[in-house]
A and B are shown apart, each in its own frame.
Chain A
Amino acid sequence: MMTAPSQGKQKRSAFLLFLFSFLLLIAGIISSLKWGQAAISWRTLYEAVTYQGNDKAHLYIQTLRLPRAIMAFVVGVHLALAGLLTQLITRNPLASPHIFGINAGASFAVVIGLVAIDGLSLFGSIAFAFVGAALGALLVWSLAGSRQQHVRLALAGIAVHFLLSSLTEGMIILNQHSTDSILFWLVGSLSSVVWGDVHSILPFTVISLVVLIPMIPSFRLLLMDDAVATGLGQRIAVVRAVGGLLVIALAGSAVALCGPIGFLCLIVPHIARYLVGGRLAVLVPLTGLLGGCMLVYADWISKFIAFPYESPVGIVTAVIGGPFFIYLARRSKSRGMAE
């Protein structure tokens, strides 16, 4: 057990953390507005965000880069919070919507929607994503069993992931038109975001946060040890169910709009927890902020790895996240948590 720092000191360090990550976020958004395929001067940038100019460059920033940066932040918040909730619900540090089949389920459903219905609307694909996410999660949950051993969960999740993604691939192969755009979407990409996407995800963000914030004290139940939690009976089941619905709403809407961006949801909660520990009142907002921050940077990097072409941001997060997952798996092994 750590010796608890005094109340004031704790508050101050949390405040500094928030300030720092906020500044990091601002810097990230400014960088992703300024640097990209086209060079933009600082002056134009300033004029564009204050809506003073009407040049091509101004429009470029206002209609392409700005919504994209905001979307990256919002989706990052969604995914990181979904990851944190999954880890809380399952008490498993390796759980994430990705491992839980939510991403694969949602993308499978969205591809069905895109193939079956011509000109599927944005809300249509969000609805498909929700159904798919819920089914994927149920499947993995029922396969992994109630005891939730880490290895079993990871293997069940990945088996379901393979099943769903090979079905998705099959549908893509059999419907060769629009292959490229679906493929790009399937890796998780923010490159085609417009203001309309931002407008359609924000309601889900607001609703989820409105439900989530009052629930924070109840989620504390999930941090307790199994015996205590069971002793509290009915309430914990309700908390879990609400948490599950929140995960589906957060991750499902993010996947519907930007594709399955992997691993972000796994890493960010761990980093946040490393920084502030298990105090949920601090942990939840910090996880959201860091998630948004990280996706803004990942998206910015993704513009450059195959310059001048865009690469899906999902590749960046997978390359950062894969090794981190290995690190976590090995650490939890050495602590004797794995089996």
Chain B
Amino acid sequence: MRKGMYALIVSAVLLLLLAVVSLRVGAVPVPLRELWNSLTMLPSPDSYIVLQYRLPRVVIALLSGIGLAVAGDILQSIVRNPLASPDVIGITKGAGFMAAAVIFLFPGAPSYALPIAAFLGAVIALVILLLLSKRMTLSPSSFALVGVAVGAVFQAGIQYLLVKHPSDVNMALLWMSGSLWGRDWQDVLSLLPWIAILTPLVWLSYPKLNVLQLGDEGSAALGMNVPRQRFLLLALAALLTGSSVAAVGSIGFIGLIAPHIARLFVGGRHQWLVPLSALIGADLMLLGDVIGRILIIPREVPVGITTAVIGAPYFIYLLRRERKSV
């Protein structure tokens, strides 16, 4: 797997570069030397900005990029459809709905309530999907269609809250399109354990993911308890999505595109696909954030929007290409 190795190395190097760029640019540019000084705890005029403001932001971007990309990878393998992703099947909308409910209905709630609510929302969306899918087997096609509808109903709920409480609209909109603005170490701490535990778990189940791609009959013939494995993997995907969305808001397209790009390099072998999607997801998230911050200084374009703008044309290209090859 030379190609996989190269791809992994390149995306890791890219990640490092993007992280450095992301620490440097913004409303206050930080020179490389000062950056180095602040990171190595030497005295520097910029160390407060770098350590308290930009570094946690970079870490959050990285972790949530990993979470969303890995969740997307799981979903695409399970649904066996390249268009599936956490936002498409309604999990992100569930998280968004609960978060919006907290923002609007309990404006005095402490800040840690928001991620918890988003997390619960993702789980609720998954449970609804499970209950509605035929005999709880989560067969891929009904799962995808039901997910689309569940997402639409949650979206209606979000819009109801938005329209009923126009005073907090901007805050909610910002959160819902996904933004890394104002994240601190507290947020890092509440996201890190989830990603650090769940991602290796997903990677360890790569044989199951590989088999599930063969289709239900094929997997069953190989001795797999398909509904059960599918449920476990889906639960992992929902937890990853829930924790990431809780940290950064409902950022779309990362979960859709990162696994796609990774698949171009390593095909359907999940022992490579899972780590590569994770790295590419982190890359894309950082790239989106950097672009969002330098586009209209000193204002910020939310990262959810820049990722959509970067990702969408690529997504369309991929789909068209794939259509020809099928």
Contact of A315 among B144, B159, B319 (CB under 8 A): B159
* Contact of B134 with A314 in the complex, beta carbons under 8 Å: no
Q: Does B323 contact A (CB under 8 A)?
A: yes
The residues in B between 282 and 326 inclusive whose CB is less than 8 angstroms from any CB of A are 296, 299, 301-302, 304-305, 308-309, 312, 315-316, 319-320, 323, 326
* Contact of A169 with B169 in the complex, beta carbons under 8 Å: no
Q: Is the contact region of chain B dominated by helix, strand, or loop, or is it mixed? A: helix
Contact of B146 among A150, A262, A326 (CB under 8 A): A326
* Contact of B152 with A173 in the complex, beta carbons under 8 Å: no
Contact of A322 among B84, B141, B156, B253 (CB under 8 A): B156
A55 neighbours in B (Cβ, 8 Å): none
Q: Does B189 contact A (CB under 8 A)?
A: no
The residues in B between 129 and 186 inclusive whose CB is less than 8 angstroms from any CB of A are 132, 134, 139-142, 144-146, 148-153, 155-156, 159-160, 162-164, 166, 169-170, 173-174, 176-177
* Contact of B308 with A173 in the complex, beta carbons under 8 Å: no
B139 neighbours in A (Cβ, 8 Å): 333
Indicate whether A333 sits within 8 Å of B304 (C-beta atoms), given known contacts A152-B81, A309-B164: no
Contact of B164 among A159, A173, A176, A306 (CB under 8 A): A306
State in angstroms the CA–CA spacing of A94 and B302 once bound together.
Answer: 33
Q: Does A24 contact B (CB under 8 A)?
A: no
State in angstroms the CA–CA spacing of A322 and B158 once bound together.
Answer: 14
The residues in A between 147 and 188 inclusive whose CB is less than 8 angstroms from any CB of B are 150-152, 154-156, 158-159, 162-163, 166-167, 169-170, 172-174, 176, 179-180, 183-184, 186-187
* Contact of A174 with B301 in the complex, beta carbons under 8 Å: yes
* Contact of A318 with B302 in the complex, beta carbons under 8 Å: no
Indicate whether A314 sits within 8 Å of B159 (C-beta atoms), given known contacts A152-B81, A159-B88: yes
A86 shortest CB reach to chain B, Å: 16
* Contact of A339 with B141 in the complex, beta carbons under 8 Å: yes
State in angstroms the CA–CA spacing of A183 and B173 once bound together.
Answer: 10
A79 shortest CB reach to chain B, Å: 15
Q: Does B235 contact A (CB under 8 A)?
A: no
Q: Does A319 contact B (CB under 8 A)?
A: yes
Q: Is the contact region of chain A dominated by helix, strand, or loop, or is it mixed? A: helix
State in angstroms the CA–CA spacing of A312 and B163 once bound together.
Answer: 8
Q: Does A131 contact B (CB under 8 A)?
A: no
A139 shortest CB reach to chain B, Å: 7
A142 neighbours in B (Cβ, 8 Å): 320
> What number of residue pairs across chains A and B have CB atoms under 8 A from each other?
155
B164 neighbours in A (Cβ, 8 Å): 306, 309, 311
- Of all chain B residues, the one with the shortest Cβ separation from A143 is B319
B145 neighbours in A (Cβ, 8 Å): 94, 150-151, 154, 325-326, 329, 333, 338
Q: Does B252 contact A (CB under 8 A)?
A: yes
Q: Does A263 contact B (CB under 8 A)?
A: yes
Contact of A167 among B84, B166, B170, B309 (CB under 8 A): B309
State in angstroms the CA–CA spacing of A323 and B145 once bound together.
Answer: 11
13 contacts between A and B (CB under 8 A): A155-B81, A158-B148, A162-B88, A163-B315, A173-B170, A174-B299, A174-B301, A176-B170, A186-B159, A314-B159, A321-B152, A322-B153, A329-B142
B residues neighboring A (CB under 8 Å): 81, 83-85, 87-88, 132, 134, 139-142, 144-146, 148-153, 155-156, 159-160, 162-164, 166, 169-170, 173-174, 176-177, 252-253, 256, 296, 299, 301-302, 304-305, 308-309, 312, 315-316, 319-320, 323, 326
